[in-house]
Amino acid sequence: MNELSSREISIQRAQELKTRIESYITESKNIKTGFTNQDNINTQKRKIMELLNCSDEEWNDWKWQLKNCINDVDVIGKIINLSEDEKSEIKQVQDKYRWSISPYYLSLMDKESECAIRKQAIPQIYELDECGKSDPMSEEFTSPLEGITRRYPDRLIINVTNLCASFCRHCQRRRNIGGVDVALSREKLKACFDYVKNNPEIRDVLVTGGDPLTLPDDLIIWILTSLRKIESVEIIRIGTRTLVNMPQRITDELCEKLSKLKPLYINTQFNSPLEITQDVLEACDKLIKAGVIIGNQSVLLKFINDDTNILKKLNHELLKVRIRPYYIFHPKDVVGTRHFYVKVKDGIEIVGKLRGETSGLAIPTYILNAPNGKGKIPLGLNNILSINDEIIKLRTWEGDIVEYKEM
């Protein structure tokens, strides 16, 4: 029998690879995104606008969106179907935990089903479960100054506000939400800037909250400009979910001001393909034109994205709007959020299946935050089985065992 030619071997291999992706190609057609769900979004948007007596101009105004965030069960019940039991449960939860949804984010919600948007935004009775910790990362013990969290040698966080356009039900800082909106005063912010200045090893500052993009332009720019003036600060990042729940915030005026503060990075948090819409695309285009680099930090959440095909679809959609999938965080054991929890072994398997079956650009690093503020730990399948000075035994993305000989 004649041996196969290199071309014939290549054709066989290509067919083998094709069979590996067929199930995703089939299933992905049934995974809704904000683009394929546009008709439903438009219907929900019209209902909300009519209910709130809102014009197109107001809808596109982030200040109107923020001012008209909804936290009334009866109002929500006119947009999505809620049983009397569900309404009762929401009212029980709101006695303990604050909740609020921007009109825009509500428009992404399916009227009938328990979609990923509803699960992230609408309180559930499971939140009254007392299991978990209020501060699982021990930020209380890594805060050398009010407003600052420091867990690493060369970087730190400044928490500038507790306000968000929508309060995520899985929030790691739900203990800070409280009952009223509170922004760090300029006096306290100046103290934070002085701390950074007096510790010149700090080269990277993350401005977060809450959500700093709920603040007025002038305050945001003052914060960023103050940090940019510190000689040792090389990188400034903004942690924001307004791209997800209020993309109207990304105005031409804000982007013009941000363009003068490069290099500037945005860390955002998309958890579902349903969240990536035409409005998100337009907001990303503005930020990228201003020179802002955008990265996504998802949270692995049960019944929302704990599925390899959904994660793959999410990351593909992110790349299409030019957001780099950066991290996917293992869910923290925050009190009242255990119903979102995914076991580590399951997370490793879910995220591990991405490797080889999609491009490296679409594969975020799976991260577990160590207890007691000990920082991020990358998780993954251990592909190094053994190692010595001569031979390294490795596992490929397909599970094959190979040996690599050192030079």
Per-residue pLDDT at 109: 97
Domain that holds residue 255: 139-379
Look-up of token digits 């922004």:
183
- Enumerate residues 6+ apart whose C-beta is below 8 A from 355: 363, 381, 397
Residue 388 inside a domain? The answer is no
pLDDT digits over 135-174, tens only?
Answer: 888 888 999 999 999 999 999 999 999 999 999 999 988 8
Q: How confident is the model at residue 371 (pLDDT cuts 50, 70, 90)?
A: confident
pLDDT digits over 263-289, tens only?
Answer: 999 999 999 999 999 999 999 999 999
- Enumerate residues 6+ apart whose C-beta is below 8 A from 118: 80, 109, 110
Same domain, 59 and 166: no
Same domain, 168 and 109: no
Q: How many domains does the chain have?
A: 2
Residue 226 predicted with pLDDT over 70: yes
Per-chain mean pLDDT for the chain: 94
Sheet with 391-395: list strands edge to edge.
384-387, 391-395, 401-405
Same domain, 346 and 215: yes
Bigger pLDDT: 399 vs 191:
191
As beta bridge partners, residue 301 has none
Mean pLDDT of 131-138: 89
Residue 1 inside a domain? The answer is no
pLDDT digits over 82-109, tens only?
Answer: 999 999 999 999 999 999 999 999 999 9
Residue 387 predicted with pLDDT over 70: yes
Q: How confident is the model at residue 390 (pLDDT cuts 50, 70, 90)?
A: confident
Same domain, 242 and 346: yes
Q: How confident is the model at residue 2 (pLDDT cuts 50, 70, 90)?
A: low
Residue 398 inside a domain? The answer is no
The structure's pTM equals 0.94
